[in-house]
Structure 1
Amino acid sequence: MIKIDNLVVSYGGIEALKDISLEVPSGKIVTLVGANGAGKSTTLKSIVGLVKPKSGSISYEGTDLTKLSTEKMVEKGIALVPEGRRVFADLTVLENLKIGAYSRKDRKEISEDLENVYSLFPRLKERSWQLAGTLSGGEQQMLAIGRALMSRPKLIMMDEPSLGLAPIIVKELFGIIKKINEEGTTVLLIEQNANAALKIADIGYIMETGKITLKGSGADLLNNDEVKKAYLGESVK
């Protein structure tokens, strides 16, 4: 679905991404894990066109993503859940969700998708008339994901969805992300929380200082001694 080949990104002469390559196959959960500053968000910004690569290619179903506008990306079935949620604080939960469907015309389908979002996140239905800015951090993250789903994406990309959330909320949220994937949506997950991300990932990439250093199934990487020591806080004998 997404294919990145030999991507290089530079900021002021310093290479933030150093010849990275990765793939996001259709129907899978793929996670890109690394510490803060590893280059994860730069990778995502390159995919959505916020950063221009120095060299390399980024394609989505054979289309050069670097030449598509945000509107065209939405039309092609790509949705983004940005870091920090970025909900519209002065609008209600329902109004935020409807904004996610702004490019769509079929009112019946929109209503059906709204009910689907509410079934995934019952708390959003209970708070549909509440201002988004008054929700808890976890509820705002649920709203950001729900808003993205309202565009009926084939691919949803999430940037640090666990950021600032309590462990119990992270567990609940990642269970829902798994369910979203099981219902047919491909997921690209950018995360510092390696344990939570790799537990649900089909494929994982470990990133350090702008390079992909490890690749494997989520289960294999969870059992990898290097990953255990560097990202899971486990001692390795």
Structure 2
Amino acid sequence: MLKIENLHVSYGGIRALRGISLEVPDGKIVTLIGANGAGKSTMLRTITGLVKAESGSIRWNDHELLGQPTDRIIGTGIAMCPEGRRVFADLTVLENLKIGAYLRKDRAGIQEDLQSVYDLFPRLKERVWQMAGTLSGGEQQMLTVGRALMSRPQLLLLDEPSLGLAPLVVQDIFSIIKKINKQGTTLLLIEQNANMALRTADLAYVLETGNITMFGTGADLLADEKVKEAYLGKHKS
């Protein structure tokens, strides 16, 4: 389980997170929704050590992550798919995927996981020698997720996986998120597409200006009138 308690983070005097607390139980999909600037991405970057916290606690499987370097945090079984995809444009699909396994030494296991990624994303197998920068936006997002899976994470952090993608591609991405979860990976999903996120998640939090303002099951928040008005539009459900 990932357990965050009373987490405070500031950027140059601006308080990005104001004592937030949340839990991500093993085997679940947990989503955090909120407007731009609410602090969602800051939280993920703090979990992975890319941003330093002022105070609080982030515990993963009963080990404190705050103060640990990013490579050590990743080595504990956490992987992140960053916002904006961030593929290595001048490397091939295969080279990008192998970078995801850079901490691993088990060559046979790496080959098995490459095949698992190709099973999840057949289009990546078709484009294995193609330069990542020439892929479509949806294919780059698939590559980013596949690269993260190559580290065999127990916990996968997804930062805005649907951003800038066509609706049909968004459906594919969320379908794959469910498959990854069914295969045993816990997911923490940061997403502006609140409708899709809440339909996918077991548990959900609403983050507003650095504060957690609501918590419940994905279905409960999907039906909540305040959430509908703020994030879904009154006529959506």
Quickly name the TM-score band, shorter chain normalised: over 0.9
Between the aligned partners of 1:86 and 1:48, the Cα distance in structure 2 is 16
Between the aligned partners of 1:12 and 1:91, the Cα distance in structure 2 is 35
1:190: how far off?
A: 0.7
Between the aligned partners of 2:48 and 2:103, the Cα distance in structure 1 is 18
Does 83-92 or 54-63 show the bigger shift?
54-63
**Corresponding residue number in structure 1 for 2:147:** 147
**Corresponding residue number in structure 2 for 1:128:** 128
1:44: how far off?
A: 1.1
Between the aligned partners of 1:45 and 1:107, the Cα distance in structure 2 is 30
Q: What does 1:90-169 correspond to in 2, within 5 Å?
A: 90-169=90-169
The TM-score, its normalising length taken from structure 2, stands at 0.97
Between the aligned partners of 1:48 and 1:100, the Cα distance in structure 2 is 15
**Corresponding residue number in structure 2 for 1:30:** 30
1:115: how far off?
A: 0.5
Q: Secondary structure at the match of 1:178?
A: helix
Between the aligned partners of 2:114 and 2:88, the Cα distance in structure 1 is 17
Between the aligned partners of 2:140 and 2:187, the Cα distance in structure 1 is 19
**Corresponding residue number in structure 2 for 1:54:** 54
**Corresponding residue number in structure 2 for 1:44:** 44
Provide the alpha-carbon RMSD of the alignment: 1.1
Between the aligned partners of 2:192 and 2:211, the Cα distance in structure 1 is 15
Letter in 2 for 1:121: F
1:235: how far off?
A: 4.4
1:202: how far off?
A: 0.5
Letter in 1 for 2:200: I
Between the aligned partners of 1:148 and 1:45, the Cα distance in structure 2 is 15
Between the aligned partners of 1:101 and 1:14, the Cα distance in structure 2 is 36
Does 204-213 or 7-16 show the bigger shift?
7-16
**Corresponding residue number in structure 2 for 1:216:** 216
The TM-score, its normalising length taken from structure 1, stands at 0.97
Q: Secondary structure at the match of 2:66?
A: helix
Between the aligned partners of 1:148 and 1:12, the Cα distance in structure 2 is 30
Tell me if the contact between 2:204 and 2:217 (Cα under 8 Å) persists in the aligned partners: yes
Matched, 1:66 2:71: no
1:226: how far off?
A: 0.6
Between the aligned partners of 1:112 and 1:86, the Cα distance in structure 2 is 24
Between the aligned partners of 1:48 and 1:103, the Cα distance in structure 2 is 15
1:38: how far off?
A: 0.7
After TM superposition, the runs of 4+ consecutive aligned structure 1 residues lying more than 3 A away are none
**Corresponding residue number in structure 2 for 1:229:** 229
1:11: how far off?
A: 2.3
Tell me if the contact between 2:48 and 2:74 (Cα under 8 Å) persists in the aligned partners: no
Q: Aligned pairs, how many? A: 236
Does 99-108 or 166-175 show the bigger shift?
99-108
Does 16-25 or 5-14 show the bigger shift?
5-14
**Corresponding residue number in structure 2 for 1:78:** 78
Does 102-111 or 182-191 show the bigger shift?
102-111
**Corresponding residue number in structure 2 for 1:172:** 172
Deviations 1:33-63 (A, max 9, x none): 0010111011111111122222211111111
Between the aligned partners of 2:163 and 2:38, the Cα distance in structure 1 is 16
Q: Secondary structure at the match of 2:22?
A: strand
Does 177-186 or 36-45 show the bigger shift?
36-45
1:67: how far off?
A: 2.4
